Amino acid sequence: MKYLLRFNALMLIFILVGTVSYASYSEDVRLIINGKHMEFDPAPIIVNNRTMLPIRFVSESLGFDVGWNGKTREVILNKENKKIILKIGSNKAKVNGINNNVTLDTAPFIKKDRTFVPLRFISETFGESVDWDGKNRVVIIGNGINKAQIKKEIRKINDKLVAKKLEEIISLPIKSIKPYNYINAHKDAYKKIVEMGDVSFDYMMREFKNGRGTGMRANIMAFACRDILGTNEEIYDGNDWYINYRKKGEIKLADFKYKGDDENLKLVYDAYVKPNYFEKGGFMVLAPSIVKVVKEDDMTKIFTRIRDDRYKLYGDLLVNTGGEISSVAFTFKDNKIVKVEEDDPKKIMEIDGRICVTTEEFLKTPVSRKIIKGLEEEMRNPLYHDYMEKKAYANLAAHLKENGIEKATLYMSSGEIEFKMGEWDIKG
């Protein structure tokens, strides 16, 4: 007799035997589901570069029913007209009753009485888009999510993490007036703040500005900001450091302007619509790569891969405040823009002045509306990503030099240098 137990998703907890030893909890991997940050206990686990999550939380967040077959050690997932069967320890999955028709990178497993399943596979099988923000280590799940909302949510996540690490540092039981005693007692927490680079810096500067930098907290923030900047000045009072630093002020620059001779690039730079999720202030640097130009009658459609970044400059410090890489097609008539389309297979809507269309619609010619064969593969060529990164920093270097900036450094969240003036070919 087959034993099949069914539970309400909100109440489901698998209490099963068996463990795995090859995975570790990754508390710095965060999840945004349908535009909201979701916290889980236990935290997600990364195995073979795949995010594994307890089945109870996956079911609650994505709204499907879960069953457990104790005899075969199988997890049964149901949502609308789709059914997934996963077997503990097996990298083979069944979808809609077809045996072993999908091979998983990581098999489901049990750890500390919790059943962990592959998040991306389940989400995408049930029709949810899944994206990975590597810089912020955030998994984003959900269709039709506004990018401004995602950016706001990621900032809230990062702010919360930095605040948590600061509280951990100043929680030293023995009272002391020396910041180094607190830092040395919580080296890992302090290291994490510094490694987060401009993300931590931006949060702490806002805390100072809003009057939330007081006492030892202000001193620790000042030390961390100094170490992120890579300077070595003495700090006696955190708020005094902030006041002196702000005297330098933000160096205001206009957006980057293309001054080359390529006529198609000129059209793209002039027609590009600045995303509204960019923060106010700062300056934008654009790095488009033209994949294909199609002309029909009096219409020209230029297919591009575009990287845009927005920066703020404080003294010698560059802070990246937003950006994206996207596939954008520009349609011109007599060199005047008539349509801007962004390839987004998960939604059809208009945002930021762009019409977000399906891949099939995106790949069509401007007049006859025929799909261009081979273009989809060409748009996904990883070489364009490498080119855009080099071009983005070459354009940034050229823009800074044109404005008389000779020293500027951008740090990665790990604390390593991402960009430094003098190390990029100005001609790109």
pLDDT tens string 8-37: 332 332 322 233 333 333 456 777 887 777
- Shortest CA distance to 257 belongs to which of 361, 399, 367? 399
What value does the mean pLDDT of the chain take?
Answer: 80
Amino acid at 271: A
Classify burial at 263, counting beta carbons within 10 Å of its beta carbon; exposed 0-12, middle 13-18, buried 19 or more. exposed
pLDDT at 176 over 70: yes
The pLDDT of residue 227 is above 80: yes
Give the per-residue pLDDT at 268.
Answer: 94
Mean pLDDT over residues 414-428, rounded? 65
Structure tokens at 123: 């989400």
d(CA 287, CA 305): 9
Is 143 a residue whose pLDDT tops 80? Answer: no
At 192, which helix (H) or strand (E)? Answer: helix 187-195
Q: What is the pLDDT of residue 347?
A: 47
CA distance 354 to 328: 9
Q: What is the mean pLDDT of residues 157-168?
A: 92
Q: SS3 of 75, please?
A: strand
Cβ-in-10-Å burial (0-12, 13-18, 19+) of 93 comes to buried
Asked if residues 288 and 316 have their Cβ atoms less than 8 Å apart, the reply is no
Structure tokens at 366: 């401007």
Q: Which of 79-93, 376-390, 394-408 has the highest mean pLDDT?
A: 394-408
Asked whether residue 370 carries a pLDDT value surpassing 70, the answer given is yes
Looking only at Cα atoms, what is the longest distance across the chain? Answer: 79
Residue 384: left if φ>0, alpha if ψ -120 to 50, beta else—which one?
alpha
Judged against a pLDDT cut of 70, whether residue 197 lies above it is answered with yes
What pLDDT sits at residue 16? 29
Residue 42: cis peptide before it, omega within 30 degrees of 0: yes
pLDDT at 354: 52
Distance CA 175, CA 112 (A): 38
Q: What is the pLDDT of residues 70-89, one digit of tens each?
A: 889 888 888 888 888 988 99
Q: How does DSSP classify residue 322? A: E
Q: What is the mean pLDDT of residues 105-113?
A: 85
Contact present, 41 and 101 (Cβ < 8 Å): no
Among 176, 175, 190, smallest CA distance to 220 is for 190
Cβ distance 219 to 179 under 8 Å?
yes
CA distance 201 to 239: 15
CATH number of 4-141: 3.30.457.10
Domains of the chain: which residue ranges?
4-141, 147-248, 263-420
Residues 225 and 384: their CA atoms lie apart, in Å, by 35
